[in-house]
Amino acid sequence: MGSILALNEQDIEQLITPEEVLAAVEEAFKRYGRGEARMPAKIYLDLPEHGGDFRAMPAYISGYAGIKWVNVHPGNLAKGIRTVMATIVLNNSQTGEPIACMDGTIITNYRTGAAAAVASKYLARGDSKILGLVGLGEQAKTQLLCISQVFELDQVKIYDVNPEVIEGFVSEFPGYRFTRCSLEEAVAADIVSTTTPVREPIIKKEWIKPGTHINAMGADAAGKEELDPGLLVQDGVKVIVDDLEQAFHSGEVNVPVRDGVLKRDSIYGILSDVVIGKLRGRETGDITIFDSTGLAIQDISTARVLYEKALERKIGSDLNWG
């Protein structure tokens, strides 16, 4: 076994761009829709006694295989520690040799923002100008960076329960026109991205206007939900998920399906089928909801791009494992 390229957080920061991640994630959805990628559902290791969980996410795409090992510990925020941390191992799919080990935390943030941007590209109105962000943590930053690659935003409405977080967010992005809003006002937008860890719905159905597109990003474990379940079954609403098995287990739809509010066959379809044109996306006046659970193909597709870019630029260090 030869040397393995190691890419730490600083290396990833040098290499990663919203544009390239957006292209990698869109390509991942296309390949998945065409049956050219393989990905079992993510595996959860729940540790409630420690206030969090771990997830193993393997995939094969574009000649590479790999796995992401990622945690979610919401209580870390109060300790000054990141709530989400990840490591990605990349392998040569033909020989099985490990070829790279890289920090996956920043990749996770960017590919999540890119997934929302891809969903918005295919499901939001083409003339969308107003973005609403609910929850202003790390995930919200890449929502903004990636969605603004697809749409020319005139206004970004922002809401968070912590005023200090709001001001810190605004100061980090001086080039945008922000409007500090109530929760209800923030979701009165063309595109809405929700990135909160809540376990009780916070977005009421009557707040959402026809023609709105929602990226529901926060529900990533069983029992989590951000949206009023009544919204999901409302006439004129299309619910599109990234992966059916994962969504029923841990996406925005997991609680409504469990409680019998939403029927499994009421899900309109998966985003990959919309991206490749197998399913129609937006119809005039629809409310579209993208239920994102996070796919391993997004991580491995992005990791491939960064690995090849690192080799070209001679960034990173070698791990010699014999």
Q: Note the residue count of the chain.
A: 322
- Please compute, for residue 264, the number of CA atoms within 13 A of its CA located in the half-sphere on the CB side: 8
Distance of alpha carbon 242 from alpha carbon 123, whole angstroms:
13
Q: How many CB atoms within 10 Å of residue 200? A: 9
Q: Do residues 179 and 153 lie in contact, with contact meaning Cβ atoms separated by under 8 Å?
A: no
**What are 85's strand-pairing partners?**
71
Q: Who's near 91: CB < 8 A, 6+ residues apart?
A: 64, 65, 66, 97, 98, 99
68 noted as active-site residue:
yes
Catalytic residue chosen out of the listed positions 68, 141, 157, 238: 68
Distances (CA, A) of 201 to 120, 125, 131, 193, 204: 22, 25, 20, 14, 8
Residue numbers annotated as active site: 68
